[in-house]
Amino acid sequence: MTRAPHDSIPEIALDWHRDGRGAVLATVLETWGSAPRAAGSQLAVSGEAEIMGSVSGGCVEGAVVAEALEALADGRPRLMSFGVSDDEAFAVGLACGGTIRVLVEPVGAALPEPLLAGLVEARAARRPVALMVHPERWERRLAGVEEPAVASRLRSDRSGMEEDGWFIGLHNPPLRLVVVGAVHIAQPLVQMARLAGYDPVLIDPRAAFGSAARFPGERILEDWPDEAMAALDPDSRTAVVTLTHDPKLDDPAILATLATPAFYLGCLGSTRTHAKRLDRLRAAGVAEPDIARIHAPVGLDIGAKTPAEIAVSVLAQITQVLRQG
């Protein structure tokens, strides 16, 4: 997946720095009260006052840009705090009163280029990583899932300050949704998934189903599901949904998914259909802990009837599993 510019802040800052334009990374460390951007949100500023991303809005953003240019000139990082009352909030970009704390780091002088390059490399490899900063000691390092505090925050997508004074800035891989079966439910599902921040991929070897006319602009793989899944290599940021009702297509996809750390596997079909599916999977040697990973009938029970309503229930269940486990 190619990240959109607003999701490519570290990459853009590194490019600006290497191009000789200079670059500063501003990161929201903490918020209290109302704030339009959560902890971990970033803004890149070049020496030519180009910007990408956001840390707030209104006067706050303007003040951060001005401070970033000064930081680029003197090479020193700094912490900025903004606190406003309810009456002043709208003017500075807050919905109502609140406080935010922003870290401003010039790349190269304060934020080492190799550290930023390592972050960009991890992001390109879809490797969950955190850029950790201790604002009092100005120490910085990259950390992964081997650190409990980082692993816990990665699961909940929640950057923030730790009690020991370290800020954990998360960089989770983009979410992916693999849909097996280019059927009518898949049409609204891939559209909704994209709006929710997922990169959807369709798998269907039947050309009449997985056509560009039915799914304009979508990535469609016409390989058999087990081959396609092997190429996609689902990771812990991947959800998989099977929709064909055809064991020749669904079962290989299910077996391939169960061999991966995909965080969600949902399968369309009635209770009777699923019972037959489980019989086949057990006969194939699938263990009960893996059987328990399957969500079927797929989606939350909200009484959905139409393809779009079923898509809503599926995406809601995927979100529930992602955020609540």
Q: CATH number of the domain at 298, please.
A: 3.40.50.720
Give yes or no: residues 88 and 112 share one domain: yes
How far, CA to CA in Å, does 308 sit from each of 191, 215, 242?
10, 15, 16
Residues 187 and 220: their CA atoms lie apart, in Å, by 12
Residue numbers in the chain where pLDDT is lower than 50: none
Task: Of 172, 227, 170, give the one whose Cα is nearest residue 199.
Answer: 172
Residue 123 in tokens: 């992001």
Give yes or no: residues 237 and 306 share one domain: yes
Cβ proximity of 9 and 116 under 8 Å: no
Give yes or no: residues 215 and 287 share one domain: yes
Instruction: Decide which of 154, 171, 188 is a domain's last residue.
Output: 171
Give yes or no: residues 149 and 286 share one domain: no
**Amino acid identity, residue 297?**
P
Give yes or no: residues 199 and 163 share one domain: no
Cβ proximity of 9 and 52 under 8 Å: yes
Residues 133 and 139: their CA atoms lie apart, in Å, by 6
Cβ proximity of 151 and 145 under 8 Å: yes
Give yes or no: residues 148 and 246 share one domain: no
Give yes or no: residues 147 and 83 share one domain: yes
Instruction: Decide which of 146, 171, 196 is a domain's last residue.
Output: 171
Residues 22 and 170: their CA atoms lie apart, in Å, by 24
Range of the domain at 237: 175-324
Give yes or no: residues 161 and 282 share one domain: no
How far, CA to CA in Å, does 70 sit from each of 190, 261, 289?
44, 45, 56
Burial class for 20, CB neighbours closer than 10 Å (0-12, 13-18, 19+): exposed
Give yes or no: residues 158 and 218 share one domain: no
Instruction: Decide which of 123, 155, 171 is a domain's last residue.
Output: 171
Cβ proximity of 241 and 268 under 8 Å: yes
Residue 132 in tokens: 């950790």
Residues 39 and 295: their CA atoms lie apart, in Å, by 32
Report helix, strand or coil for 97. coil
Sheet holding 98-106, edge to edge: 51-53, 42-46, 23-33, 98-106, 78-84
Q: How many CB atoms lie within 10 A of CB 170?
A: 18
Give yes or no: residues 131 and 197 share one domain: no
Q: What is the number of structural domains in the chain?
A: 2
What confidence score (pLDDT) does residue 264 get? 97
How far, CA to CA in Å, does 63 sit from each of 59, 119, 136?
6, 27, 22
Give yes or no: residues 61 and 185 share one domain: no
Cβ proximity of 202 and 179 under 8 Å: yes
What confidence score (pLDDT) does residue 82 get? 83
Give yes or no: residues 42 and 167 share one domain: yes
Residues 239 and 320: their CA atoms lie apart, in Å, by 12
